[in-house]
Amino acid sequence: MIKDLPENIVEDIAIAVALEKESVETKIWYVYLINLKGVPIENVLVTSKGYGEKDGEQVKTSTLRHMFPIVESNSFVLIEPIDEATFGLNNEYWLSYYIGKEIYDKKFIFLPESIVELNFIKLPVVNKPGVMIR
């Protein structure tokens, strides 16, 4: 049962949307998992989906699942490319991972219109401009 699971708190882990390349015609965006911990995380599972309202209609994207055997300490992995057309939706990333025998999980949600230049920072470890949730 869910009440039997330990309340492990996710710290020093981030999901970030980075502006990878920009040209006159297009922008290329990627989503990264950033491990800011001093230890690796293992058996990492990330599910992603978008949902919300667009042009007065309820919209849902496909749910994608990504598995990474290990994400080293102070490093990052590319989760997926993301289309700018989904920035008006809630973009949800649900992360689960292990440290030793302990399981951790957390849901990260980029709210509609939050992936904008006004919110850009220089992403740690990735060293690219983007928006990050910790």
CA 21 to chain CA centroid, nearest Å: 18
Query: In terms of CATH architecture, what is 11-126?
Result: Sandwich (2.60)
Residues 6+ apart with CB under 8 A from 70: 40, 41, 42, 44
Distance CA 95, CA 62 (A): 17
Prediction pTM value: 0.92
Q: Which residue has the higher pLDDT, 24 or 128?
A: 128
One-letter amino acid for residue 102 of the chain: E
The model's pLDDT over 77-105, given as tens digits with 9 standing for 90+, comes to 999 999 999 999 999 999 999 999 999 99
Q: Side-chain half-sphere of 54: how many Cα atoms within 13 Å?
A: 14
DSSP 126: T
Structure tokens of 18? Answer: 């980075």
Alpha helices in 2-105 (DSSP H): none
Residue 3 has pLDDT above 90, yes or no: no
State the pLDDT at residue 65: 98
| CA nearest to 83, candidates 119, 58, 59 | 59
| For the chain, domain boundaries | 11-126
Specify the 3-state DSSP secondary structure of 15: strand
